[in-house]
């Protein structure tokens, strides 16, 4: 039996092109899925603070520009950050941001426990954090554990450890008032100087 080597090669080529076609289809699907998650807000603060924010103050943390610092107990800085988005179609969104915790925030159960809450414009609570990753050795602020780096703010006279908590949550359409979505980021640390917070990479997207 004389098998045609060219025929075999041709069949191989066809199988190849079918695989290529499938791969292209998958790629097109992946691209369209990515395009569907459209960001309507993408603020990294490196080129300034957009006017929708209630505060303009930024803080450099290891080369990254964050909005902050904040501490509601210290009048030198704002206590909360409000983001007001007007003319936004009322629907469900996904909000993500990096929460920078500066100093050793205390978790629930500690007598100096801190909290971080995200409200919408109707005083609805979208997020309420009571557990924080900020550990220090022997109650010594200068010996942070598991932190991302060190930062000095105008509130503390020395460098403090900072930790980054990436947050990703759903914001449902009932958080809107008409076509306005207001988001209030509000940390409530117990210390005036050695506990503060900042925000970076704030993103609101259509899921
Ligand atoms: Ca505290």
For the chain, the structural domain boundaries read 1-36, 40-205
Distance from Cα 45 to the centre of ligand 1, integer Å:
27
| pLDDT reported for residue 1 | 46
| pLDDT reported for residue 55 | 97
Distance from Cα 118 to the centre of ligand 1, integer Å:
18
Closest by alpha carbon to 83, among 123, 125, 38, 41?
A: 41
| pLDDT reported for residue 4 | 52
| pLDDT reported for residue 21 | 66
Distance from Cα 89 to the centre of ligand 1, integer Å:
39
Distance from Cα 150 to the centre of ligand 1, integer Å:
18
* Token pair in block for residue 93: 């969104």
CA dihedral 76, 79, 83, 84 (to 10 degrees): -90
Distance from Cα 65 to the centre of ligand 1, integer Å:
25
| pLDDT reported for residue 14 | 57
Query: CA dist 163 to 58, 103, 114, 123, 174, Å?
Result: 17, 8, 15, 27, 32
| pLDDT reported for residue 156 | 93
Distance from Cα 153 to the centre of ligand 1, integer Å:
17
Distance from Cα 191 to the centre of ligand 1, integer Å:
6
Mean pLDDT of successive 10-residue segments in the chain (207 residues)? 50 63 63 67 96 97 98 98 97 98 97 98 97 94 95 94 98 97 98 97 96
Distance from Cα 12 to the centre of ligand 1, integer Å:
67
Distance from Cα 192 to the centre of ligand 1, integer Å:
9
Torsion sign, CA atoms 51, 65, 156, 73 = positive
| pLDDT reported for residue 58 | 97
Distance from Cα 55 to the centre of ligand 1, integer Å:
24
Distance CA 183, CA 124 (A): 10
Distance from Cα 104 to the centre of ligand 1, integer Å:
7
What pTM did the predictor assign? 0.82
Residues around the ion ligand 1 (C-beta < 5 A)? 106, 112, 114, 190
Distance from Cα 24 to the centre of ligand 1, integer Å:
53
CB 95 within 8 A of CB 204: yes
Distance from Cα 195 to the centre of ligand 1, integer Å:
7
| pLDDT reported for residue 90 | 96
Q: Which CATH architecture has domain 40-205?
A: Sandwich (2.60)
| pLDDT reported for residue 16 | 66
The three-point CA angle 183-184-190 to 5° equals: 155
């Amino acid at each position: 039996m004389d098998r045609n080597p060219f025929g075999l090669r041709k069949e191989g080529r066809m199988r190849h092109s079918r695989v290529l076609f499938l791969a292209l289809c998958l790629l097109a699907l992946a691209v369209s899925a990515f395009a569907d998650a459209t960001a309507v807000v993408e603020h990294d603060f490196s080129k300034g603070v957009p006017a929708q924010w209630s505060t303009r103050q930024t803080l450099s943390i290891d080369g990254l520009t964050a909005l902050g610092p904040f501490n509601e107990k210290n009048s030198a800085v704002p206590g909360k950050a409000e983001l007001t988005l007007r003319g936004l179609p009322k629907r469900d969104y996904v909000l993500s941001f990096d929460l920078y915790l500066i100093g050793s925030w205390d978790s629930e159960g500690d007598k100096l426990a801190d909290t971080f809450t995200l409200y919408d414009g109707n005083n609805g609570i979208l997020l309420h954090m009571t557990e924080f990753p900020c550990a220090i050795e022997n109650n010594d602020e200068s010996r942070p554990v598991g932190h991302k780096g060190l930062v000095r703010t105008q509130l503390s006279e020395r460098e403090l450890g900072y930790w980054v908590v990436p947050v990703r949550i759903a914001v449902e359409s009932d958080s809107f008032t008409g076509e306005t979505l207001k988001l209030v980021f509000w940390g409530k640390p117990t210390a005036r100087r050695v506990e503060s917070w900042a925000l970076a990479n704030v993103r609101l997207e259509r899921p």
